[in-house]
Every structure is written in C-alpha cells, then in structure tokens.
A = this chain, B = another copy of it.
Amino acid sequence: MTADNGGLPQGGDSRAGSELLEVSEPARSGGRPVAALAAGLGALRPLPAGAVRWGTGFWGRRARVNASRSLAAGLARLETSGVLENLRLAAGAADGAYHGKLPFLDTDVYKWLEAVSWQLQQPDAGGWSAEESAEWSARAEEIIALVAAAAAPDGYIDSYTTVVREGERWADMAMGHELYCAGHLIQAGVAHRRATGRTSLFDLARGFADLLVAEFGEGGRRVGYCGHPEVETALVELSRETGNRAYLELAQRFVDLRGGGLLGDRPFGRHYFQDVTPVRESFELHGHAVRALYLAAGVADLYLETGEQALFEALEAQWHDLLRGKAYITGGTGARHRDEAFGDAFELPSDGAYTETCAAIALMQWAWRMLLATGQSQYADVFERVLYNGFLAGVSLDGERYFYVNPLQVRPDSTLGPDGRQEWFSCACCPPNVMRTLASLTHYLATSDAEGIQLHQYADGSVRVEGDGGHGPMGVEVATAYPFDEAVRLTVPAECAGHWTLSLRIPPWARGAARLELDGAVLELDDSDGYARVRRHWRGGEGLVLTLPVRPRLSVADPRVDAVRGCAAVERGPLVYCLEQFDQQVSVDEVRLLGPVYDADPVRIGEFEVPGVALAAESLAVLEKGAVPDGWGYRELGEGSPGAGAGVLLAAVPYFAWANRGYGAMRVWLPLA
C-alpha cells in the first residue's frame, strides 16, 4: 500500500490482503491515504481522507450530531422498520412476511453502513472515543454478517428478489432496483474497506460486482441497465479501488446502452428513467430527479476516467439546463410530486416543489465531480448552495427527523407538502443518505493540483495535505463562524512552509466585494474566475483574513419563473432565508415586502443559534380578517385593488432551520409591494 495509489484507477488492487488496521486506532485510521472520491483525469484531485478536519464551528457541530445521534437512531429504525429482518428472511434465519413493499429497502442498510464507515474513518470528527469507535465497528460487522448470510452462493444479494420474487432475478429492470441496490452495496463496501481496512463488506460487494460483470458485461448473459441509475458511480469507484477495469467497462456499458428504450414505457414514460435519448445526446434534464442526477454523477465519473469529450459535452449542456431554469434557489431540484421529476424549464412552483432530499445529495455528487473535472468555481458555488439549503433542510437540527420533500412554501393547514419532519419513512432513502453525506462531508471541501490546494468551502477546522505533486506539506488552519459571520481566518502552519498556491473560492455574492488581508496588509484580489489565488513562498505562520460580505440581500428569479413573479427571496451569505408563521404577527401569505432588510438578533432554535433577519413589509388591508370579499376569487383589473396596509417587521430564519419549532406555514419567496 503506497501513499498515492488509493482511489487512482491505475493503482491496482494492492490493498487486498494487506494487514488490517484496528479501528481502535483512530489516529492512524484518520491519516490513511484514501481518497473519498474520483481522481483520474480531472483538473483537481480530491484530498486524502483525514486531510480536512472539523473544528468547533458549524460543520463540526453538525458532524457530531450526525455521529452521536443520527447513526444510533438510524440503527434503531433499521431494526423497527424490518429492513434488517428482511435480510434475515433472505438468509433463511427468520420466518414471516417481507417488511415493506419496496424492492430497494436493502439500501437503507447499505447507506447506513457507508455512513458508519466514513465516520469510522475519522472518529474524532464525530466526537467518538476509541471505545465508541470499536463499538460502532462491531455493530457494523454484525450487520455485515447479516448481509453475508443473505448472499447467494454466486454472490447475488437482494432480499426482495430472494424473498418476494422467490429468487427470480432481473425480472423487472425498470422498477426492480437490483442494480441500484448493488451500487449502494458497492459504495458501502468501498467505504468500509477504506475506513477500516477490513474486507468483510468489500468482498461481498466485489463478489456481487463480479457477478454483474458476468451477467451484464460485454458478451454476458444479459443486455440491460437499471431503471434507477446509481450503480454507475459505484462501479467506477470500485474500479478505482481495485484497479480492475472490468467494473469501469461495465459502467461504460450501462451508459452506452442507456436511452435505447430497453426499460419499456411505464406510466410515467421513458423520460422518468432517462431512457429517451442516448446519454451523449441528452442535453437537458428530464424525469425523476434523483435518477437523472445520479446518472449525471456516474457519467461524470466515467468522463474522469476516460476523458471522452462527448460525455462531458452532454454533462455541460445538462448543467446549463439545470442552472437556467430547473433548480430552485435552495439548490433543490425536482419540481413535480407526481413522478418526482424535473419540471419543464422555469416550472418551479414553491408550494408544489418536491425537491427530494436525495436529489440534493445527488446534485452535490454531480457538482463535486464536475468541479474535479474542470476546476471551475461554478460547480463549487452550486455545491455550497445545495449543501446549506436544499440538503441541510432535509434533516432536523437534532439529527433525528427528516424531510423527504422540501417545499419552498407551505400554506396554512396544507394538505400538500410533508406535514412535518418524520423519524423515518416507508421509503426511507433520504435519512441514511443524509447520514453518509454528513459523515463524508470533509471529503468535499478542498482539493489539490500541481500548484497547491484549493479551499472550495469554508468550515472551522483545518486542511492539511502531507505532500502532493512534489510539494512538501501544504495546509491551513481555519477559524470561522461562516456561514453566519463574514470573517474566515486562515493560518499557514510552520510545517507547511514552501512554495505553493492557496486558492480560496469567492462565492458569487461576494465577488468584487470580498477582502483579503495577509498579516494585516490588504492583498489585491482577482476573483474573476471565482478564486482568489495566493501564490507565494510561505514561511509558515502567516495569518490571512478573508472577509466575505455576509449581509442580508434580496434576490429575484428569471422572469420566466412564473411561480415567483413579483417576489423576492432573502439570502444572507450562502443561506437562503424563509418566513415561518411561528415568528410573525400577521399571516405570511398576506404581506408585501417594502424592500429594506436588516440583520436582526440571533434566533435560538433547539441547541443552535442562527442569525435573524428582519424585513420591512406591509400587511394587506384587503386581506385582513373580515375584509376578504366573499364569492368568486377573480375580479376585473382595477376593481377593488388591495390597499396599502399597516407596516410590519417580519422575522426570517435560515431555510435549513425551518420546521424545528413545529410545522406550519412558511414562505421563501415574498411578494414585493
């Protein structure tokens, strides 16, 4: 095992058979040179695991909530929901009916195992002691043993097919989710091996993957692809992990075949499965959002390994399509409840927004790979937007309740939307997906290239690369209350002396207004490509202060977004804000913004304090109780226009923090007077 083979496709399977590290040695585990995600042909390289560490700031706290509360609650739910029992049924170790009706419930287990694995990789980030790590590792091994018991002799694993379909495999490629389940198993197996060095889960994953190659590979017994893309990213990563190109080629084959209509015409149509046009001719995003975005991430992974330009051009066109009119201001995607699908361009209703939490995660995965491929700030910009808004709103501040659907507006007593945060779901894809994302979030903050290191996201903690591309150690300590506060204080440790470039992403709202000081002297800052780059010979010990103008601002949408015409949304730094009825004196549906927005007192929500924002507004007299005209809700233009009402000050809170003090009416977009 060498320092630079991990995660690189040419590395070979050098770790197979290497000695196991005890998980009770967190320091060594955290320091292992395992890349979280793609490397390959990209402009930027992911950093080794352990290179980014949390401090006590925003993300450090969230990570500890995830490690200390979400994983344990999740384990309890895996048991009570019956998904572990389903594995026992498949193993012949239990009797009874299959729990749940969905064919992909095994992935709840796999995603949870992946989350525990990433947390075991850096137990200190979750606040785990060595004893706790050993306990979590042992719990994971117990569940891995269940997965192993459910495996068929030839490596096939899928409790639903085994129990409900009586072993009839690949009978429903459109909705059977067998390859989707395999993908999550593979990702969990890779994470578990990278984190612990153990191969208990990895061997199961590889065994299944080998079976997939035999079944679906070139010259295999079957020609097909999965109705729910996901296995593509997993296979590319397995190829990186093992150096075995067969997995890469299988991912390539799935991508090459897709769009051939092999999935058939289901009620929601072929768009639902991204099966209308070949991938290289798919220049727009259509259909089920999570499927489309996992597929895009998989195609990006493939591009990172093969460099095939036609794939990248399709991805760039899809990205443009996304940004232009298929993403919410929260970074949420998937406008439609009916088929969990993207809307048409500019079809972005606030109340009807589906914006599944898993779609936010899938978009982060795609954006990250596009960032690695190109080094362009736009991908990190979107990553940040999704991270703080569309994604983070999906989990409660206490880490134990979740949204599956993330609307931007909830009306009073609504029968739409999610009806409050839930502890689990009959389709529980989101909760363990949140857990694995939070447990691996350190992997997504910074990168390196031949010049130095790039900070894409700002979090209290540190970044440290032990030597990369001929450099000695490079890194910075980061002290910041970002995203709440404007100052990011960076210190280059003495041992990171040397000639290298520190690149700092300047978010779009800060471009042209950010300020950077080096040991008290203001640096001239060129952020035209989205990064401020400090190229110098570091002595070590230098202190930098990056100041980002984190102030409330009002944003508006493209005029073709009908749903929010005449409205503005409050943003503050990377955070989108919202009005919760809880905080107001008047109905959130009966106010008009006058314009001014102000920083207000912090708001305590559970264990957290978040910056408040105040908005000058007026309530509409015509809508005040008793003043609503009865009867038909339409009138001739000019008749009975609402008069100006009383002035009111509205209190907004970050969108990610909503519905933590009860569930009620809420709005992100507010009509302008």
Which positions in A face B, CB cutoff 8 Å?
Answer: 269, 271, 286-287, 320, 323-325, 327, 329, 336-338, 341, 343-347, 349-352, 378, 381-382, 409, 411-416, 508-509, 553-569, 589-590, 620, 622-623, 628, 630-637, 642, 669, 671-672
| A412 to B284 CA separation, bound complex (whole angstroms) | 14
B349 pairs with A620, CB closer than 8 A? no
Inside 8 A of A632's CB, which chain B residues have their CB?
323, 327, 378, 381-382, 508
Inside 8 A of A568's CB, which chain B residues have their CB?
637
Assuming the contacts A344-B413, A568-B637, A634-B329, asked whether A642 and B559 have C-beta atoms less than 8 A apart, the reply is yes
B414 pairs with A344, CB closer than 8 A? yes
Assuming the contacts A559-B622, A633-B324, asked whether A349 and B352 have C-beta atoms less than 8 A apart, the reply is yes
| A71 to B413 CA separation, bound complex (whole angstroms) | 44
Q: How far is the CB of A171 from chain B (nearest CB, A)?
A: 19
Assuming the contacts A324-B633, A554-B637, A568-B637, asked whether A352 and B352 have C-beta atoms less than 8 A apart, the reply is yes
Residue in contact with A560 in the complex, picked from B349, B415, B589, CB distance below 8 Å: B589
Specify the chain B residue showing the minimal Cβ separation from A553.
Answer: B636
Interface core residue of A344, A346, A350, A633 (most chain B CB under 10 Å): A633
Specify the chain B residue showing the minimal Cβ separation from A620.
Answer: B559
Assuming the contacts A352-B352, A620-B559, A623-B560, asked whether A347 and B416 have C-beta atoms less than 8 A apart, the reply is yes
Inside 8 A of A351's CB, which chain B residues have their CB?
343-344, 347, 562
A416 pairs with B344, CB closer than 8 A? yes
| A346 to B572 CA separation, bound complex (whole angstroms) | 29
A637 pairs with B555, CB closer than 8 A? yes
Residue in contact with A411 in the complex, picked from B347, B509, B553, B631, CB distance below 8 Å: B347
Q: How far is the CB of A450 from chain B (nearest CB, A)?
A: 28
A347 pairs with B352, CB closer than 8 A? yes
Specify the chain B residue showing the minimal Cβ separation from A271.
Answer: B415
Specify the chain B residue showing the minimal Cβ separation from A554.
Answer: B637
| A343 to B337 CA separation, bound complex (whole angstroms) | 13
Specify the chain B residue showing the minimal Cβ separation from A559.
Answer: B642
Assuming the contacts A349-B563, A559-B620, A562-B350, asked whether A415 and B637 have C-beta atoms less than 8 A apart, the reply is no
| A215 to B558 CA separation, bound complex (whole angstroms) | 59
Residue in contact with A623 in the complex, picked from B343, B559, B563, CB distance below 8 Å: B559
Interface core residue of A336, A562, A671 (most chain B CB under 10 Å): A562
| A623 to B409 CA separation, bound complex (whole angstroms) | 27
Q: How far is the CB of A52 from chain B (nearest CB, A)?
A: 26
Q: How far is the CB of A325 from chain B (nearest CB, A)?
A: 5
Assuming the contacts A347-B351, A347-B416, A566-B565, asked whether A633 and B325 have C-beta atoms less than 8 A apart, the reply is yes
| A564 to B338 CA separation, bound complex (whole angstroms) | 22
Apart from A337-B338, A555-B635, A559-B642, list 8 A-B contacts with CB within 8 A.
A320-B631, A324-B630, A336-B337, A343-B416, A344-B414, A344-B416, A568-B637, A637-B672
Specify the chain B residue showing the minimal Cβ separation from A354.
Answer: B338
| A628 to B409 CA separation, bound complex (whole angstroms) | 27
Inside 8 A of A590's CB, which chain B residues have their CB?
560
Interface core residue of A381, A628, A634 (most chain B CB under 10 Å): A634
A409 pairs with B562, CB closer than 8 A? yes
Specify the chain B residue showing the minimal Cβ separation from A560.
Answer: B589
26 contacts between A and B (CB under 8 A): A271-B415, A287-B415, A320-B631, A323-B631, A323-B633, A324-B628, A327-B632, A327-B633, A341-B415, A344-B412, A345-B411, A347-B411, A347-B414, A347-B416, A409-B562, A554-B636, A554-B637, A555-B637, A557-B633, A558-B634, A559-B620, A562-B669, A565-B565, A565-B567, A566-B566, A568-B637
